[in-house]
Chain A
Amino acid sequence: MKQTLAAALAGALFGLGLLVSGMTDTTKVQGWLDVFGDWDPTLAFVMGGALLPMAIAWRIAARRRTALLGRTIPLSPGGTSVDSPLVIGSTLFGAGWGLAGLCPGPALASLAWEVAAVWSFFSPCWRVWSPHPPPARGLNGWPRRPDPRPGRATGECNGYPCPDPSYAVSPQIDPADLPAIKAAGYSLIIDNRPDGEIPPDLHTDVIRAAAEALGLAFVANPVIGGALTMDNVATQRAAIEAASGPVFAYCASGNRSSVVWALAHAGTLPVDDLIAIPARFGYQLEHLRPTLQGLAQQG
Chain B
Amino acid sequence: MFDIAWLWGLLGGLLIGSAGALYLLVNGRVMGASGIVGGLVDGSGRDSWAERAAFLAGLIALPGLAALLFGGSETHLTDNWALVIIGGLLVGLGTRLANGCTSGHGVCGISRLSLRGIVATVFYILAGGIVMVLARHVLGWI
Contacts and interface: CB of A to CB of B under 8 A. Distances in A.
Interface of A: 3-28, 30, 33-37, 40-58, 60-61, 64, 66-74, 76-82, 85-105, 107-114, 116-117, 119-130, 132, 134, 137, 171-172, 174, 176
Contacts of A96: 86-94
Give chain A's interface secondary structure class. Answer: helix
A7 B51 contact: yes
7 closest residue pairs by CB, A with B: A123-B92, A49-B13, A21-B12, A112-B64, A96-B90, A100-B87, A93-B94
Given A97-B124, A100-B91, A119-B85, A16 B119 contact: no
25 contacts: A10-B19, A11-B56, A14-B55, A26-B78, A36-B133, A42-B8, A46-B13, A49-B15, A51-B17, A57-B111, A90-B98, A92-B90, A93-B127, A94-B123, A96-B90, A98-B127, A99-B90, A100-B88, A101-B77, A104-B37, A104-B91, A104-B101, A109-B60, A112-B65, A116-B77
A50 B17 contact: yes
Contact of B75 (A12, A13, A25, A122): A25
A56 B43 CA distance: 32
A134 B83 contact: no
Nearest to B95: A93
A113 B65 CA distance: 10
Q: Say which size band chain B's interface belongs to.
A: 35 or more
Q: Which of A55, A107, A127, A134 neighbours the largest number of chain B CB atoms within 10 Å of its CB?
A: A127
Contacts of A27: 76
Q: Which of B59, B65, B76, B142 neighbours the largest number of chain A CB atoms within 10 Å of its CB?
A: B59
Given A8-B58, A124-B41, A67 B97 contact: no
Nearest to B42: A127
A20 B8 contact: yes
A87 to B, nearest CB: 6
A33 B128 contact: yes
Contacts of B92: 96, 119-120, 122-126
